[in-house]
């Protein structure tokens, strides 16, 4: 009897040891990924800094859910995903630093979860290196704590493709199917058209190979994420076709337009290059961009030799289709547009770099490792330098908006109020005013409405110094604020509160 009891105790102890060993193994596997995500989060808070004011596009998204400022005009290409993402903070607090910290923490957690979706497809060292490559790009660090959609499309792309590959390898893995749907929904929630471009290779593959469960999960995720955008198209834009047409027009008309050189110019730290007439940045800033396709090709060769071609070819194909419209179909550039492509390229590129370090013979391995380390160190230094410049420029421009708002308050333009003209949307947000435009991409009012509003509320028109004001504002008193001419509508007779 005692022998039997001892045997049971021994078996229980062995099971406990096995479970503990498995836990330790999971911690070791996930530890490097968690470290990458943690460093990424801290780097955002240190290098970008939470005090950075809200930018133009951020203002449009955040203003949809705030209670302290009127909602800015929401144009056809935009989706409500970012507004809902920031709602847990922006709906009750006007603190920009708090919002920045929230987004930095959330983006770090999201990167960790996205890398976990690739576990078992590549060694942990490759996933950690891939995550570090993507996270160390200046564009990733700059936009991680910002209320912008492109980083989140990149995270959704990583989750979708990683879970897709896992589901192909293990058809019974239900968690991978849910991951496909969740990643696709996140992409479509943020930017429906980008989600379609990213998933084109996956949709084609599921149809050709008749992977119906994968197709269903992918289609369900895309539909769940895009349904609000489609409904809004019919309620406020005259239908889905009209909204797509309007979105194309706002983006300059989608068609065959080579924007590769524009993207290269934007790598120097330009948030938006439209029109992109700035000079090319220093070659040290752009060399990584030319190295990406070379290293991706090497990663493909490595995968072919290791007989795991699909794990590398599929993310590379998705990266190519994600980048296609922004390289060859629009006439301007913003570096954030290519974030989904960079995220999907990062893992095959990391695989290639590890191959360069580990494959040479014992004699040459230290040389290869040294060259790769020096290349990565130079790349990181260039990215941080560009990031510092981008943060500095954007911090100053947003402080200018805030200073202009202060001067407008001094002139009596206080909420509730209306601003029109040059940069009316961002200056209006900082002032606490609504913004109006009678023409252009943000057209949302008429001259008659502006004149009627001026009878009730403070109204001001903003133009670059020396610019020609619209007819309705020509007789308004003009005030010079920095390099702007601000014309404030005189109070209507009997309206002492104006």
pLDDT in tens, 272-317: 988 888 899 999 999 999 999 999 999 999 999 988 899 999 999 9
- Are residues 37 and 112 in contact, defined by beta-carbon separation less than 8 angstroms? yes
Q: Are strands 418-421 and 459-464 parallel, antiparallel or unpaired?
A: parallel
The residue ranking higher by pLDDT, 254 or 310, is 310
pLDDT given for residue 497 in this prediction: 53
* Per-residue pLDDT, 365: 81
Length of the chain: 498
Identify the weakest region by mean pLDDT among 198-212, 218-232, 288-302, 353-367.
Answer: 353-367
| Residue 210 in tokens | 């008749």
Rounded to an integer, the average pLDDT of 336-343 is 98
Cβ atoms within 10 Å of 294's Cβ, excluding its own: 11
Q: In this structure, is the dihedral angle defined by the CA atoms of residues 150, 155, 156 and 158, taken in order, positive or negative?
A: positive
Stretch 61-66: mean pLDDT, rounded? Answer: 97
Mean pLDDT of the chain: 92
**pLDDT reported for residue 241:** 95
| Residue 69 DSSP label | S
pLDDT band with cut points at 50, 70 and 90 for residue 27: very low
Distance CA 427, CA 327 (A): 32
Rounded Cα–Cα distance for residues 357 and 367 (Å): 9
Res. 21: pLDDT tops 70: no
* Cα–Cα distance measured from residue 232 to residue 192, given in angstroms and rounded to the nearest whole number: 13
Q: Measure the CA–CA gap between 390 and 405, rounded to whole angstroms.
A: 23
pLDDT score, position 28: 47
Within a 10 A sphere around the Cβ of 210, how many other Cβ atoms? 8
Q: What is the pTM of this model?
A: 0.92
The predicted-structure confidence for 407-418, as pLDDT tens digits, reads as follows 999 999 999 999
| Residue of 37, 50, 35 whose CA lies nearest to 109 | 37
- Cα–Cα–Cα angle for 67, 145, 406, nearest 5°? 50
Between 25-29, 112-116, 429-433, the lowest mean confidence (pLDDT) is in: 25-29
Condensed to tens digits (0 to 9), the pLDDT of residues 429-456 reads 999 999 999 998 899 999 999 999 999 9
The average pLDDT across 468-484 equals 95
């Amino acid at each position: 009897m005692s022998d039997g009891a001892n045997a049971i105790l021994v078996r229980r102890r062995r099971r406990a040891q096995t479970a503990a060993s498995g836990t330790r193994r999971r911690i070791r596997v996930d530890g490097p990924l968690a470290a990458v995500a943690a460093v990424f989060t801290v780097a955002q808070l240190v290098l970008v800094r939470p005090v950075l004011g809200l930018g133009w596009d951020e203002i449009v998204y955040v203003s949809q859910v705030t209670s302290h400022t009127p909602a800015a005009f929401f144009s056809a290409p935009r989706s409500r995903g970012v507004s809902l993402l920031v709602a847990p903070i922006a709906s009750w607090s006007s603190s920009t630093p708090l919002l920045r910290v929230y987004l930095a923490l959330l983006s770090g957690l999201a990167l960790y979860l996205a890398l976990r979706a690739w576990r078992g497809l590549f060694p942990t060292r490759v996933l950690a290196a891939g995550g570090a490559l993507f996270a160390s790009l200046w564009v990733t660090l700059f936009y991680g704590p910002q209320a912008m959609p492109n980083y989140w499309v990149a995270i959704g792309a990583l989750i979708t493709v990683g879970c897709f590959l896992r589901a192909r390898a293990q058809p019974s893995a239900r968690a991978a199917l849910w991951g496909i749907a969740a990643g696709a929904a996140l992409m479509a929630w943020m930017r429906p058209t980008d989600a379609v471009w990213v998933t084109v290779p996956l949709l084609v593959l599921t149809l050709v190979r008749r992977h119906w469960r994968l197709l269903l999960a992918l289609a369900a995720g895309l539909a769940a994420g895009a349904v609000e955008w489609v409904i809004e198209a019919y309620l406020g834009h005259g239908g889905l076709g009209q909204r797509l047409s309007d979105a194309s027009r706002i983006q300059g008309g989608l068609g065959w337009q080579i924007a590769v050189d524009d993207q290269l110019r934007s790598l120097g730290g330009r948030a938006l290059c439209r029109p992109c007439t700035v000079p090319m940045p220093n070659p040290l800033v752009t060399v990584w961009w030319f190295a990406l396709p070379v290293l991706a090709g090497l990663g493909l060769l490595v995968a072919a030799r290791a007989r795991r071609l699909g794990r590398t070819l599929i993310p590379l194909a998705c990266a190519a289709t994600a980048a296609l419209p922004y390289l060859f179909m629009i006439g301007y550039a913003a570096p954030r547009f290519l974030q989904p492509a960079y995220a999907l390229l990062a893992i095959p590129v990391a695989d290639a770099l590890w191959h360069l370090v580990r494959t040479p013979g014992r004699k040459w391995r230290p040389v290869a490792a040294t060259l790769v380390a020096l290349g990565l160190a130079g790349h990181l230094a260039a990215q941080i330098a560009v990031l510092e410049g981008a943060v500095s420029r954007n911090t100053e421009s947003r402080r200018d908006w805030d200073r202009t708002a202060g001067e407008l308050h001094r002139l009596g333009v206080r909420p509730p109020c209306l601003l029109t003209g040059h940069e009316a949307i961002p200056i209006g947000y900082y002032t606490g005013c609504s913004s109006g435009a009678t023409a252009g991409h943000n057209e949302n009012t008429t001259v008659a409405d502006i004149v009627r509003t001026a009878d009730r509320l403070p109204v001001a028109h903003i133009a670059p110094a020396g610019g020609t004001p619209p007819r309705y504002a020509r007789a308004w008193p003009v005030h010079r604020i920095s390099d702007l001419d601000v014309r404030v509508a005189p109070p209507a007779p009997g309206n002492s509160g104006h």
